[in-house]
């Protein structure tokens, strides 16, 4: 009994994550072109024709490839929160291809999906995914991590978590306007490296042994920095051996199997 996860694309240029559990295949978001999605899923051995899609929210870097995906593959089913679903219908996803969820847990094949609300400037959710006694938590695009989200993630085998920006790099970025900087760093924006590291330490102490740092900004962060901030926080808190992977915008993370 196992769960598998692979970050296919992660960042402001597009997001898509593959999850497998006991024969059930899904992707979280479809924020790149269909051709890129097809190529990446082929690389991990997925059957795209029967895949399910969990949508976190309606921003383009999470759904821009969704319309083409459902048009080409008639057996693909899309799962979205009620407010997000209305936006998807307006962007070319027909209502009969959508399954709308609320706050309650639901099932996608062999995987139990437990959604929870995050703190973003549009309706956005994270997910706990359970299968065969294993648990993965996915949470990006949030200015803060609400206590209930951290509680939901406790005890996961793996957590994919946003480490979007360095506050120093964001503040020094001359190409970003002040309102944009405020949006990114605000309570409904994106999680900083330091806030991510604080959450990782807490979750590590709850038993989480592997983390994927995701949704890094190309302009206000870089992989080595996100990794170092998190690794140093884990070391300072004496968290012991913890796996740490950084998801990249244009490269697969590698297929991680949790057994």
Interatomic CA distance for residues 43 and 37, integer angstroms: 10
Q: Name the helix (H) or strand (E) containing 19.
A: strand 16-21
DSSP string for residues in 139-201 = E-S-SS--HHHHHHHTT-SEEEEE--B-HHHHHH-TTS-HHHHHHHHSTTS--BHHHHHHHHH
Interatomic CA distance for residues 124 and 150, integer angstroms: 16
> Residues 42-55: what's their mean pLDDT?
96
Q: How does residue 6 score in pLDDT terms, banded at 50, 70 and 90? A: very high
Nearest to 230 by CA among 244, 247, 215: 244
Nearest to 115 by CA among 107, 123, 125, 100: 125
pLDDT tens, position by position, 70-120 = 999 999 999 999 889 988 987 778 899 999 999 999 999 999 999 999 999
What are the residues whose beta carbons fall under 8 Å from the beta carbon of 25, sequence distance 6 or more? Answer: 18, 19, 46, 47, 50, 51, 52
> Residues 112-136: what's their mean pLDDT?
97
> Residues 23-45: what's their mean pLDDT?
97
Interatomic CA distance for residues 229 and 224, integer angstroms: 9
pLDDT at 87: 87
> What does the CA dihedral 218, 223, 226, 228 come to, rounded to 10 degrees?
-150
Q: How many residues does the chain have?
A: 259
pLDDT tens, position by position, 180-206 = 999 999 999 999 999 999 999 999 999
Tokens found for residue 194: 């330091």
> What does the CA dihedral 30, 36, 40, 41 come to, rounded to 10 degrees?
60
- The total of other beta-carbon atoms located within 10 Å of residue 52's CB is 20
Tokens found for residue 77: 């089913």
Interatomic CA distance for residues 142 and 148, integer angstroms: 13
Nearest to 237 by CA among 200, 211, 212: 200
**φ, ψ (nearest 5 deg) of residue 14:** 150, 145
Radius of gyration of the chain (CA): 17
């Amino acid at each position: 009994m196992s769960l598998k996860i692979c970050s296919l694309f992660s960042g402001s240029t597009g997001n898509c994550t593959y999850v497998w559990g006991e024969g059930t295949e899904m992707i979280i978001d479809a924020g790149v072109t269909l051709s890129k999605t097809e190529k990446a899923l082929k690389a991990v051995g997925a059957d795209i024709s029967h895949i399910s899609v969990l949508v976190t929210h309606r921003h383009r870097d999470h759904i821009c490839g969704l319309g083409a995906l459902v048009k080409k593959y008639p057996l693909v089913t899309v799962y979205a929160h009620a407010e997000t679903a209305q936006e998807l219908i307006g962007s070319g996803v027909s209502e009969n291809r959508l399954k709308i969820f609320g706050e309650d847990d639901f099932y996608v094949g062999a995987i139990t999906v437990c959604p929870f609300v995050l703190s973003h400037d549009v309706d956005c959710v994270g997910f706990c995914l359970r299968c065969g006694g294993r648990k993965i938590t996915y949470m990006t695009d949030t200015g803060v991590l609400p206590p209930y989200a951290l509680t939901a993630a406790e005890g996961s085998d793996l957590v994919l978590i946003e480490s979007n920006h360095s506050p120093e790099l964001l503040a020094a970025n001359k190409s970003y306007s002040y309102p944009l900087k405020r949006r990114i760093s605000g309570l409904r924006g994106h999680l900083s490296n330091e806030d991510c590291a604080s959450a990782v330490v807490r979750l590590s102490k709850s038993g989480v042994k592997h983390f994927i740092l995701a949704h890094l900004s190309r302009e206000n962060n870089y992989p080595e920095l996100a990794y170092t901030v998190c690794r140093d926080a884990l070391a300072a808190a004496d968290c012991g051996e913890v796996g740490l992977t950084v998801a990249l915008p244009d490269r697969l993370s590698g297929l991680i199997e949790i057994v």
